Structure 1
Amino acid sequence: MSGQQVESRARPSWKMTLWIMAGVQFCMSIAFSSSNPFMALYVEQLGVHNLRHVDMLTGIIQGMTPLMAAIMSPFWGAMSDRRGRKMMVLRSTIAIAIFTGILGLAQSTWQLMIIRALQGSFSGFSAASIALVASVIPQDRLGFSLGWMQTSSMVGTLVGPLLGGVAADYFHNNYHMVFFLTTIFAFIAFIITLLWIKEPQVQRAVANRKPSLIGQFKSIKQFKTVQSMFVVLFLTQFTVMSVQPVLSVFMKELAGNVGYLNTVAGFAFAATGLADLIASPFLGKRSDKIGYRRVLTICMTGAGLFYLPQALAPNIWVFVASRFGLGMFIGGILPTANALIGRMAPSDKRGQIYGFTSSATFLGSFAGPLLGGVGSAFLGIRVMLGVAGALYLCNMLWVRLKVKEPKETADTA
């Protein structure tokens, strides 16, 4: 009875932490995504006028942040074990705020590339925030809590591109001002975390042990399905990011010379995020009933097919409608994949495993813009949209062949 009383007293604490961190996630998602609609146009404004070079440089620039984040994530993960998860969230939010502001001072594409690399080197927000939330909530509410974190991220991703596009048009394509405004959201996330997030001392004591990264990797080799999910997460993120950096250039081609191009581009990105937000809760609930593997199969097949009308779009409105349809299926992939990983991983290894799956996602975010930008430069954006659809279908086949449904799901469903 005393244990239940302790849990009831602790419950408001973890719930409050969850909602506060969901707000922090929302602010950071805006900061991350607000420049997506106009990054290629920003590269043009910095003096690159050859369309092929714009595609290539935009892909490289967009890929620098996740590349450096993937390289530095193990270091920051080990640091969080010694210094605490809240400290890592504070470090990443203030670093992102500072470097986002500096992006607005860039005078050349080389400066833009270096700043993006530095931003990635000091990043690691997502892994730190998930680890912080997981350290204060009951284990039986882990899926519920991470689901809300994902939802807040989706809402931020929905608002960010639209806000960035509208701001860019309001300031008459002065993208420097948009970066300065975006910095405010990261600073808000820093202040909220500093003032209202409390990290339990027990977690800090346990974290004093310094884990070996090689030892961590070896310890998860026994979980074959988890290893298979590394490929799923990498391909999912790679495919999404492979065409995203150059979509604004493609929409410029479809819309023509209109005065509200940035707003249209932001709306196209927001349409995908809106559909994502609508579909994710429904698909998450369905995965508990019909199985994670089946939902992944449905989502990847639908996403692959919705890239076809994008590749063949005759005008901007068909393209935007297709992006909305794509979001209805993409919305179920990452939450379902993470839920499957959580079911397969023992509770005492979830932090390690989610850390490595985060690296797979970062690598996909790096390789996607890089190869997608090069592919768009030489093959054209329409061809790359078709390739993206084919990659989703290949990912679906990988799930059918390599991913196993956890036995616990069948037992508890």
Structure 2
Amino acid sequence: METWKLNLYAAWVGCFFTGLAMSQILPFLPLYIEQLGVTDHASLSLWSGLIFSSSFLVSAIVAPLWGSLADRKGRKLMLLRAALGMAIVMALQGMASNVWHLFILRTLMGLTSGYIPNAMALIASQVPREKSGWALGTLSTGQVAGVIIGPLIGGFLADHVGLRVVFFITATLLFMCFLITLFSIKEGVIKVTKANRLSGKAVFSSLPYPALIVSLFITTMMIQLANGSISPILTLFIRELTPDTNNLAFLSGVIAAVPGVSALLSAPRLGRLGDKIGAHRILIAALGACVLLFCLMSTISDSLQLGILRFLLGFADGALMPATQALLLKYSSQQVTGRIFGYNQSFMYLGNVAGPLLGSGVSAMMGFRWVFIITALLVLVNTLHIAWRFRQIPTKP
């Protein structure tokens, strides 16, 4: 079997454990913040947004530095750094005694994150370009499968053994991810000296459509912003919709997980379809579907409706990031692919910062439902922009 295929399968398992580990925590993180002493609604919303965003802000700042190191030492080293670092910091989060401790540890986690983006970049740099949509779509299902199972396990454990225990279980899973990466992924590192590396300006000068690449960076940011804006308020919104529930953490885990089921089904199929008809068409259609579904979520009256709409949202989510990355790969040369994916990673983290801050801020000032409306408007603007940008390309994508 070809090396890139072996790496694809090993990276899939690593992404699965990473997605599983990280998604176990997210559904009940606001409840953990509440347990640490923050009970006021506005304060809880704002602290949730800050704690969700803090690690991503640091990640956005340091991603170019890690990207430079990856050019010289290889992406496998970045995968090992991320997996082991997250395992250690996650265990420490389970020992937090107040909200400031949690905030500081989530900020430190930004120095250790980046497993899944680096796995995507490693596979993208090795896969034959005519199979990039399928390969990246397949790899994304690893994370998605973990995200499906993680909230269910995390919610169940949180209800039955306590919130802190879940952090220690999560740290164990991340250490398993480290071991899988260490022994299974092979990478032939082509060392690039500092003298031979292109400057940032030279990277963009080498691209046939630099403005399109920047627009794709912005699209990556908007995808993460749209998903992240809901994260801090999802559990609190479900509690508002279902005030009498006795298993809020588990119910939140189920509703957080359902998009993953449909994304798992759609990602490789839409990736393969994008290889045939153009990934840009898949991207624009999926963004349009997200706009519609976010608008509908603002009108719901119970948790079942929210679960159904999030299930439908997963079909679009499964296409968004693989399509964007396939387009970045298509419109950049092999010489600069690593740098382009590094820049894209920074925009991804910026979206992860802006999304929770937007969601928590809008929620505190205007209420939960306005989060969905504002998110839909922002995605609509991005959809129109990227569609216009592709119309400027003289040749067919």
One fold, TM greater than 0.5? yes
| Equivalent position to 2:308, from 321, 325, 329 | 321
Deviation track 1:91-124 (CA, whole Å, cap 9, x = no partner) reads 1110000001111111111111110110102223
Q: Aligned with 1:258: secondary structure?
A: coil
Letter in 1 for 2:337: R
The percent of aligned pairs where both chains have the same amino acid is 32
Change over 3 Å in CA distance of 1:328–1:134 after alignment to 2: closer
Work out the CA distance in 2 between the residues paired with 1:385 and 1:401. 24
Deviation track 1:50-80 (CA, whole Å, cap 9, x = no partner) reads 0111111101100011111110111111122
Letter in 1 for 2:191: A
How many Å apart are 1:137 and its aligned residue?
A: 4.3
Quick check: 1:21 aligned with 2:1? no
Q: Kindly indicate whether the alpha-carbon contact (under 8 Å) linking 2:54 and 2:110 is maintained by their aligned counterparts in 1.
A: yes
Q: Kindly indicate whether the alpha-carbon contact (under 8 Å) linking 2:203 and 2:336 is maintained by their aligned counterparts in 1.
A: no
Change over 3 Å in CA distance of 1:23–1:338 after alignment to 2: same
Q: Aligned with 2:2: secondary structure?
A: helix
Letter in 1 for 2:330: R
How many Å apart are 1:169 and its aligned residue?
A: 1.3
Work out the CA distance in 2 between the residues paired with 1:208 and 1:23. 33
Partner of 1:211: 197
Work out the CA distance in 2 between the residues paired with 1:149 and 1:282. 12
Partner of 1:175: 163
Query: Scaled by the length of structure 1, what TM-score is found?
Result: 0.90
Change over 3 Å in CA distance of 1:286–1:15 after alignment to 2: closer
Letter in 2 for 1:359: S
Q: Aligned with 1:382: secondary structure?
A: helix
Q: Kindly indicate whether the alpha-carbon contact (under 8 Å) linking 2:294 and 2:373 is maintained by their aligned counterparts in 1.
A: yes
Partner of 2:226: 239
Partner of 2:61: 71
| Equivalent position to 1:189, from 174, 177, 184 | 177
How many Å apart are 1:140 and its aligned residue?
A: 4.8
How many aligned residue pairs are there?
Answer: 396
Quick check: 1:395 aligned with 2:382? yes
Work out the CA distance in 2 between the residues paired with 1:397 and 1:219. 26
After TM superposition, the structure 1 = structure 2 runs for residues 95-114 of structure 1, keeping only pairs within 5 Å, are: 95-114=85-104
How many Å apart are 1:349 and its aligned residue?
A: 1.5
Work out the CA distance in 2 between the residues paired with 1:175 and 1:408. 54
Partner of 2:24: 34
Work out the CA distance in 1 between the residues paired with 2:274 and 2:124. 21
| Equivalent position to 1:312, from 299, 314, 318 | 299
Work out the CA distance in 2 between the residues paired with 1:345 and 1:318. 42
Partner of 1:350: 337
Work out the CA distance in 2 between the residues paired with 1:129 and 1:325. 27
Q: Kindly indicate whether the alpha-carbon contact (under 8 Å) linking 2:229 and 2:356 is maintained by their aligned counterparts in 1.
A: yes
Query: Scaled by the length of structure 2, what TM-score is found?
Result: 0.93
Partner of 1:60: 50
Work out the CA distance in 2 between the residues paired with 1:41 and 1:328. 28
Work out the CA distance in 2 between the residues paired with 1:217 and 1:377. 42
Work out the CA distance in 2 between the residues paired with 1:319 and 1:270. 12
Quick check: 1:228 aligned with 2:215? yes
Q: Larger deviation: 77-86 or 37-46?
A: 77-86
Q: Aligned with 1:34: secondary structure?
A: helix
Q: Larger deviation: 274-283 or 16-25?
A: 274-283
How many Å apart are 1:371 and its aligned residue?
A: 2.0
Change over 3 Å in CA distance of 1:298–1:127 after alignment to 2: closer
Work out the CA distance in 2 between the residues paired with 1:37 and 1:168. 10
Q: Aligned with 1:37: secondary structure?
A: helix
Letter in 1 for 2:136: L
Unaligned runs of 5+ in 1: 1-10
Q: Aligned with 2:95: secondary structure?
A: coil
Deviation track 1:255-310 (CA, whole Å, cap 9, x = no partner) reads 11322211110110111111111222332233334333332222122111112332
Work out the CA distance in 1 between the residues paired with 2:202 and 2:116. 19
Letter in 2 for 1:268: I
Work out the CA distance in 2 between the residues paired with 1:325 and 1:227. 29
Q: Aligned with 2:25: secondary structure?
A: coil
Quick check: 1:128 aligned with 2:118? yes
Work out the CA distance in 2 between the residues paired with 1:47 and 1:40. 11
Letter in 2 for 1:279: S
Q: CA RMSD in A?
A: 2.2
Work out the CA distance in 1 between the residues paired with 2:222 and 2:47. 22
Change over 3 Å in CA distance of 1:214–1:350 after alignment to 2: closer
Work out the CA distance in 1 between the residues paired with 2:255 and 2:219. 25
Letter in 1 for 2:17: C
Q: Larger deviation: 153-162 or 218-227?
A: 218-227
Q: Aligned with 2:379: secondary structure?
A: helix
Work out the CA distance in 2 between the residues paired with 1:406 and 1:164. 46
Q: Kindly indicate whether the alpha-carbon contact (under 8 Å) linking 1:296 and 1:333 is maintained by their aligned counterparts in 2.
A: yes
Work out the CA distance in 2 between the residues paired with 1:205 and 1:350. 15
Deviation track 1:333-369 (CA, whole Å, cap 9, x = no partner) reads 2111111221111122111111111111110001110
How many Å apart are 1:126 and its aligned residue?
A: 2.8
Letter in 2 for 1:109: V
Q: Kindly indicate whether the alpha-carbon contact (under 8 Å) linking 1:44 and 1:54 is maintained by their aligned counterparts in 2.
A: yes
Q: Kindly indicate whether the alpha-carbon contact (under 8 Å) linking 1:293 and 1:404 is maintained by their aligned counterparts in 2.
A: no
Quick check: 1:150 aligned with 2:140? yes
Deviation track 1:305-328 (CA, whole Å, cap 9, x = no partner) reads 112332121111111111112222
How many Å apart are 1:218 and its aligned residue?
A: 4.3
